[in-house]
A and B are shown apart, each in its own frame.
Chain A
Amino acid sequence: MRSVCVVGVGMSKWGEVWRMSFRDLHTEAALNAIRDAGVDRLDALYVGCMSGGLFVGQEHLASLLTDYMGMRGIPAMRVESACASGGMAFRAAFIEVASGMSDIVMASGVEKMTDCAPDDATSALASAADQEYEVFHGATFPGLYAMMAHAHMAKYGTTREMLSAVAVKNHQNGAKNPVAQYPFEITREQVEKSVMIADPLRILDCSPITDGAAAVIVTTEEVAKSLGKPYIKVLGSGVGTDTIALAQRQDLTTLRAVTLAAQRALDMAGKKIDEINFAEVHDCFTIAEIMVAEAIGKYEPGKAGQAILAGETGREGAFPINTSGGLKSKGHPVGATGIAQVVEVYKQLTGIAENGRQIPGSPTIGMTQNMGGSGGSSVVHIMEVAS
């Protein structure tokens, strides 16, 4: 396998972006990434998108987006794994470059979620759960994670305060991210007085509905060097799968797909979890960040909540998590999220994170963890700054 690098990144505006269409959002992010890398061609595109069909009635995305970004004719494919679509698209681009098939590949992600009514968006998201045995009974995504939260609280004594600490910390970080949808700080009281969605999860435990896109340029080390820009190396890529129906899992308090993905990525990278300096993880709900921090092996089961409460995962802590603001504050355009995680890791590793968001001490190795549905799929990447 060839060594694979990321050499340029781009984001669109994130939020309720009424002035921009699905294709505009993607084009903006794609052009930003192309300009940032300084490449003059693309050999292929992999675009992650969960549900263009349900959110805006548009499928056949890869050709459309390739055309509108000025790359008509290149090989292009859409990748779908619910909310992990972006991370999976990045993996596809990684494989294509590693295999020697292509030299310069774009991995991107996009979702336009606010064109439809909020109710339709909720239904579209619910299509990542088991239609016949979960959604049929009235399950929603907050509901599924709420059930995991109750199980985790009952087994490990995880508290309301720990959940709140995740939201407060991610908003502290997101307040410093220029593309964040909700770039402001919140207090524990605000979280705990916000409206209840699905017990025990309140609205400020939930990531929002977002329009947005992100893109990165994946290439060989040779090309990356020749461009003369800062770049990072992809050391490991791992994917894991599990039942998408929560009821069929043996343990409701662990995320097996995440553990499998993290182990595979760490094995490929030849690293141990303690060698990773920081991570961008899939905090679609506050409980998810706690469970993921345990599933990747950083904390023992039941111990992550306490560590987060103690500030270990803050920007200046021992293991910063979600310095971008995470899905919670930055926003969660589902198909774009996995790519935006790579963007943040690139910025942190190359020392260009904006507004005082930079992790102190020049971190050298970062991890991204992107997750589909209630944990039915997960994809993890490990990246290192090029010396």
Chain B
Amino acid sequence: MKMFVPRNWREYPSRYRLEASRFTKSGTVYYPKRMVDPETGDTEQETVNLPLSGKVLTYTVIRTSPDQWKDLAPYALAIVELEDGTRMMGQLTDCNVEEVSIGMEVRLEFRRVQTEGHSGVLSYGHKFVPKWY
């Protein structure tokens, strides 16, 4: 899907600063931000920044990828639970894909995530790296 500049720009707060919603009633944190707490219907919230480390809940290694990701394949993709319990998806990089495992401790780094050819938009965001790296 082609990335348009405003679409990418709109996501800066969540992708660059990892901003999330903490709802007043439940104290639950949601990433990305949303307007309504899906459990309580609460709309009162504050913006929080997510912690930068967590552990792998599940993962896969994408070996057959769409064209856009061909240069990276095989790449590991994981769902990580951060220290505050928030969950997010992202690529797990800077390690051998064969060494990725459930429970592995990771931290988040700011990386280039997508490139759209020579004149396309460069999109940045988080990737996970092994904590020991």
The residues of A that contact B57 with a CB separation of less than 8 Å are 151, 252
**Chain B residues bordering chain A, tally (CB within 8 A):** 32
A 192-221 binary contact with B (CB < 8 Å = 1; else 0): 000111111100000000000000000000
> Considering residues B59, B64, B78, B87, which has the most beta carbons from chain A within 10 angstroms of its beta carbon?
B64
Minimal Cβ-Cβ distance residue in A for B102? A154
Distance from A57 Cβ to chain B, minimum over Cβ atoms (Å):
15
A248 beta carbon closer than 8 Å to chain B: yes
Determine if B23 is an interface residue (Cβ-Cβ < 8 Å).
no
* B58 contact from A150, A196, A201, A245, Cβ within 8 A: A150
Do A119 and B63 touch (CB < 8 A)?
no
**Is B113 interfacial (CB-CB < 8 Å)?**
yes
Given contacts A132-B11, A135-B1, A248-B87, contact A150 B102 (CB under 8 A): yes
The one of B11, B32, B77, B87 in contact with A138, judged by C-beta atoms closer than 8 angstroms, is B77
Q: What CA separation (Å) do A134 and B32 show in the bound complex?
A: 11
Judge whether A122 and B66 touch: CB under 8 Å: yes
Contact of A127 among B1, B58, B67, B75 (CB under 8 A): B1
Contact B32 A147 (CB under 8 A): no
Contact indicator B64/A138 (Cβ below 8 Å): no
B62 and A245 contacting across the interface, CB-CB below 8 Å: no
In the bound complex, residues from chain B placing their C-beta under 8 Å from that of A243 are 38
Assess whether B64 is in contact with A139, with CB atoms less than 8 Å apart.
no
Interface range for A: 35 or more
List residues 127-184 of chain A with CB under 8 A from any CB of chain B: 127, 131-140, 142-143, 146-148, 150-151, 154
**Would you call A138 and B69 a contact (CB within 8 A)?**
yes
Expressed in whole angstroms, the Cα–Cα distance for A233 and B109 within the complex equals 56
Whether the pair A252, B64 counts as a contact (CB closer than 8 A) is: no
Residue of B60, B67, B69 touching A147 (CB-CB under 8 A): B60
Q: Does B123 contact A (CB under 8 A)?
A: yes
- A147–B57 Cα gap in the complex (Å)? 9
User: B113, A137: Cβ atoms under 8 Å?
Assistant: yes
Distance in Å: Cβ of A190 to nearest Cβ of chain B: 18
B91 CB within 8 Å of chain A: yes
A63 interface residue (CB < 8 Å to B): no
Interfacial chain A residues near B66, Cβ < 8 Å:
119, 122-123, 126, 140
Complex: A142 Cα to B66 Cα, angstroms? 12
The reply on A268 being an interface residue by CB < 8 A is no
Which chain B residue lies CB-closest to A201?
B60
When the two chains form the complex, which single residue of A147, A196, A245 contacts B63, counting CB atoms closer than 8 Å? A196
A101 within 8 A of B: no
Q: Closest residue to A129 on the B side, CB-wise?
A: B89
A246 at the interface (CB under 8 A from B): yes
Cα A200 to Cα B123 with chains together (Å): 29
Note all chain A residues with C-beta closer than 8 A to B78: 147
Cα distance A137–B65 when bound, in Å?
A: 12
Interface residues of B in 74-109 (CB under 8 A from A): 75, 77-79, 87-91, 102
For A150, give its contact among B1, B59, B67, B113 (CB under 8 Å): B59
**What are the residues of chain A within 8 A of B113 when measuring CB–CB?**
136-138
Docked Cα-Cα span, A246 to B87, in Å, equals 9
Closest approach, in angstroms, between the C-beta of B20 and any C-beta of chain A? 12
A247 contacts B by Cβ under 8 Å: yes
**Residue of B whose beta carbon sits closest to that of A130:** B89
A residues whose Cβ falls under 8 Å from a Cβ of B? 119, 122-123, 126-127, 131-140, 142-143, 146-148, 150-151, 154, 195-201, 243, 245-248, 252
Subset of 14 A-B contacts with CB under 8 Å: A122-B66, A132-B11, A137-B89, A137-B90, A138-B77, A139-B62, A140-B65, A147-B60, A148-B58, A150-B59, A150-B60, A198-B64, A246-B89, A248-B87
A140-B64, A248-B30 given; 20 more Cβ-contact pairs under 8 Å: A123-B1, A126-B1, A131-B1, A132-B11, A133-B88, A136-B114, A136-B125, A137-B89, A137-B91, A138-B72, A139-B62, A139-B89, A140-B65, A142-B64, A147-B59, A151-B102, A198-B63, A199-B60, A245-B89, A246-B89
